[in-house]
């Protein structure tokens, strides 16, 4: 059992609705590369299980009775910074989305679209990418652009990045891994990492979540057809 789990993505589910937990467990365990290793009924238990199991991804309901999703996310990120957090919710609300991203979540999926979208999102965040439910991405851009632009004090803006640096950041924002970006642009993974590091230094960004917020402010995620 231990060997089998270690060869798969370890997933912890946190939701206070038993029927949903059971359904998602069946869905995830049906994937050849994933396994649910533990389930939590509340936010505090989710924090404990993150420390106990060190999962690749923790799928977290944002509204639970004992500890809210944003608070649980902050605690998990502090104690287990390597654990990627995917928020799962029924709320199609930009306010909730912004709060979870600011807390350190790597993705946000609506329960009504859960299924293939959830599986895709798990794979994206497990590889270090960011995922926002497609039904929310456009609206978030419209609401965030002004505020994000006003708050951003970095001395360099997107127009001052090189063309290749911009391409790399856009692809990262769309959830692609360094390996996928290298293949698409016809360059090495090491070169991708170099462009990424230079761009992050210019923009004074630190993480993929920062890149996602910057991409939203630049309207990159609202461009038809996604990354080139």
CATH number of the domain residue 71 falls in: 3.40.50.2300
Looking at every residue in the chain, the average pLDDT score rounds to 82
In a domain, 69, yes or no: yes
Which pair of structure tokens corresponds to residue 20? 């949903």
In a domain, 19, yes or no: yes
The reply to whether 32 and 100 lie within a common domain is yes
Where among 88, 107, 132 does a domain terminate?
A: 132
What is the distance between the alpha carbons of residues 112 and 109, in angstroms, rounded to a whole number? 9
The reply to whether 82 and 180 lie within a common domain is no
Q: Which residues contact 109 (CB under 8 A, 6 or more apart)?
A: 86, 87, 88, 89, 117, 118, 121, 131, 133
Q: Give per-residue pLDDT as tens, 25-37.
A: 999 999 999 999 9
SS3 35: strand
The reply to whether 120 and 186 lie within a common domain is no
Give the predicted TM-score (pTM) of the model: 0.64
Where among 98, 132, 166 does a domain terminate?
A: 132
Q: Give per-residue pLDDT as tens, 65-85.
A: 788 888 999 999 999 999 999
Q: Give per-residue pLDDT as tens, 159-198.
A: 578 888 888 988 888 777 888 888 888 899 899 988 888 8
| Best CA proximity match to 30, nearest among 118, 95, 102, 104 | 118
The reply to whether 127 and 151 lie within a common domain is no
User: CA 13, 16, 18: angle at the middle one, nearest 5?
Assistant: 80
User: Domain of 108?
Assistant: 2-132
Contact 15, 45 (CB under 8 A): no
Query: How many domains are contained in the chain?
Result: 2
Q: Between residues 205 and 223, which one has the greater pLDDT?
A: 205
């Amino acid at each position: 059992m231990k060997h089998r789990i270690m060869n798969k993505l370890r997933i912890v589910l946190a939701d206070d609705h038993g029927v949903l937990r059971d359904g998602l467990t069946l869905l995830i365990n049906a994937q050849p590369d994933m396994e649910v290793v533990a389930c939590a009924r509340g936010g505090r238990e989710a924090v404990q299980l993150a420390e106990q199991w060190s999962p690749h991804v923790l799928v977290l309901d944002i509204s639970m009775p004992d500890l809210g999703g944003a608070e649980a996310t902050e605690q998990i990120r502090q104690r287990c910074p390597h654990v990627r957090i995917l928020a799962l919710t029924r709320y199609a609300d930009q306010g909730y989305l912004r709060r979870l991203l600011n807390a350190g979540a790597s993705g946000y999926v609506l329960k009504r679209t859960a299924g293939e979208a959830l599986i895709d999102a798990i794979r994206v965040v497990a590889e270090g990418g960011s995922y926002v439910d497609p039904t929310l991405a456009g609206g978030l851009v419209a609401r965030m652009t002004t505020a994000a632009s006003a708050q951003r004090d970095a001395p360099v803006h997107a127009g001052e990045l090189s063309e290749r640096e911009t391409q790399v950041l856009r692809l990262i924002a769309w959830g692609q891994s360094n390996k996928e970006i290298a293949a698409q642009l016809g360059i090495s993974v090491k070169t991708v990492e170099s462009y990424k590091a230079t761009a992050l230094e210019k923009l004074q960004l630190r993480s993929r979540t920062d890149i996602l917020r910057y991409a939203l402010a630049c309207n990159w995620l609202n461009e038809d057809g996604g990354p080139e």
